Structure 1
Amino acid sequence: MKLIYIVAGIALFIKILIMPEATSNLSDISILKKVIENGIPEELKELAFLDISIAEIVSTESGVPNAVSGIIFRNRLYDTIMEVVVFSVAIMGCNYLLSNENPSCTIYQFKDEPSIVLARLGATIAALVGIELAIRGHLSPGGGFAAGVAAGTAIGLIAITSSYHWMQDIYQRWNAAIWEKVSVLIFIVLAVLTLIGIELPHGELGTLLSGGILPILNILVAIKVALGSWAVLLMFIHYRGLL
Structure 2
Amino acid sequence: MKWLYGIAAIAFCLKILFIPHPPANLSDIAIVESIVQDSGVPNAVSGIIFRNRLYDTIFEVVVFTIAIIGASFLLANEKPARMIYQFSDQPSIVLARLGATIAALVSIELAIRGHLSPGGGFAAGVAGGTAIGLIAITSNPEWMQGIYRHWHVATWEKVSVLIFIVLSVITLAGFELPQGQLGTLLSGGVIPILNLLVAIKVALGSWGVILAFIRYRGLF
TM-score range (shorter-chain normalised) is 0.7 to 0.9
Query: Which residue of 94, 117, 120 corresponds with 2:97?
Result: 120
Pairs within 5 Å for 1:159-238: 159-238=136-215
Cα root mean square deviation, aligned: 1.1
- Structure 1 unaligned runs (5+)? 1-46
TM value normalised by structure 1:
0.79
Report the secondary structure of 1:212's partner residue. Answer: coil
Instruction: Name 2:122's counterpart in structure 1.
Output: 145
- Residues 121-150 of structure 1: CA deviation (Å, up to 9, x unaligned): 000000000000000000010000000000
Whole-Å separation in 2 of the counterparts to 1:129 and 1:51: 38
Whole-Å separation in 1 of the counterparts to 2:77 and 2:155: 23
Deviation at 1:51, TM superposition (A): 5.3
Deviation at 1:58, TM superposition (A): 0.6
Instruction: Name 1:95's counterpart in structure 2.
Output: 72
The residue type paired with residue 154 of structure 1 is A
Instruction: Name 1:73's counterpart in structure 2.
Output: 50
Instruction: Name 1:85's counterpart in structure 2.
Output: 62
Whole-Å separation in 1 of the counterparts to 2:107 and 2:29: 32
* Identity within the alignment, %: 75
Deviation at 1:107, TM superposition (A): 1.0
Deviation at 1:100, TM superposition (A): 1.1
Whole-Å separation in 2 of the counterparts to 1:213 and 1:228: 22
Whole-Å separation in 1 of the counterparts to 2:216 and 2:64: 20
Report the secondary structure of 1:107's partner residue. Answer: coil
Whole-Å separation in 2 of the counterparts to 1:153 and 1:94: 18
The residue type paired with residue 218 of structure 2 is G
- Residues 83-115 of structure 1: CA deviation (Å, up to 9, x unaligned): 000000001100111111111011121100000
Whole-Å separation in 1 of the counterparts to 2:207 and 2:82: 20
Instruction: Name 2:219's counterpart in structure 1.
Output: 242
- Structure 2 unaligned runs (5+)? 1-24
In the alignment, is residue 110 of structure 1 matched against residue 87 of structure 2? yes
Whole-Å separation in 2 of the counterparts to 1:154 and 1:54: 36
Report the secondary structure of 1:64's partner residue. Answer: coil
